[in-house]
Amino acid sequence: MRRFPWAIILALLAGLGLGLVYSWVISPARVIDAEPLTLRTDFKDHYRSAIAAAYAATGNLPRAQARLSLLANSDPIEALNAQAQRMLASGQSLEQADQVAALASALEHGVALESTSTTIPQIANTIVITSTPPLDSSAVPSEITETPQPTETQATINASTPRPSRTSIPTLGAPFALTGQETVCDPNLPDGLLQVIVFDSRRRQLPGAKIMMTWDGGEEEFFTGLKPELGNGYADFIMDPSTTYTMQLGAGSDIASGLTTSTCQSSDGENFTGGVKLTFQQP
């Protein structure tokens, strides 16, 4: 009768245990030079924040684009805008959120930051000093008659000092056309968030645009540019899931009607309330 090979089994188990201890504790595997697209979601946010901070310091837009391309996002501008809103919602640094939003705006318009350094005018390094010889005491008259200096009248002061002028309020110009409407399903954004982005005819975000939101039994006005960290032409509004809204930017502009929330599903199968993103532009 053959005996069961307990010794071999024990040797295999001992070897397996030693191998696990060595690979997990003594010398665990290290990931070196991993691609940014393989990073965890929160690490990708840190990566974008670092790129935005570097862009804010250097203004090098092509380098920022090249670095963002390593994340392989289908829409890097939307990813930056969504991250900026998440940073504000979670109470993170306003300066960092502003940098992320500024990079998104620069990518959208293709305009790099201008240099913020202040040019200090150069002062001539040559100072001409004219020495005056001491006066001869014999040449000084015994009496000195002081000649009064002419005083500047109030009329002269008023004439030389420009008065402040009233700052004119810019007009919005031509009516706006609705150029984009899409449903936004992002669990990191507030439920029912309506995002509005307004551009002028040169595709620049337009602050101060009046937005009229109406619904059955109510209305509300709000303006773009109140959240400059998300864009000068950005505004938002929280929609009630049980209400249908209508929105318009001034007389003659396109009307966005039937605005309501949508039901979205997260990656783990849970339902949440989505929002809407609208884009308007002057023709």
Q: What is the pLDDT of residue 122?
A: 39
* Structural domain boundaries in the chain: 36-109, 177-281
Cβ atoms of 99 and 49 closer than 8 Å: yes
Matching residue, tokens 């002057």:
282
Cβ atoms of 84 and 45 closer than 8 Å: no
Q: Is the pTM of this model over 0.75?
A: no
Q: What is the pLDDT of residue 91?
A: 80
Cα radius of gyration rounded to whole Å, the chain: 34
What tens-digit pLDDT sequence spans the chain (283 residues)? Answer: 567 778 888 888 888 888 888 888 887 777 666 778 888 888 889 899 999 989 888 889 899 989 999 888 888 898 888 888 888 878 888 888 888 888 888 888 776 654 443 333 333 343 344 444 444 444 444 444 444 544 444 444 344 444 444 433 344 456 899 999 999 999 889 999 999 999 988 888 888 888 999 999 899 998 998 888 888 889 999 999 999 999 998 778 899 999 999 999 988 888 999 999 999 998 8
Q: What is the pLDDT of residue 112?
A: 60
Q: What is the pLDDT of residue 211?
A: 93
Q: What is the pLDDT of residue 10?
A: 87
d(CA 193, CA 180): 16
Which CATH architecture group holds 177-281?
Answer: Sandwich (2.60)
Q: What is the pLDDT of residue 174?
A: 64
Q: What is the pLDDT of residue 141?
A: 45
Q: What is the pLDDT of residue 216?
A: 93
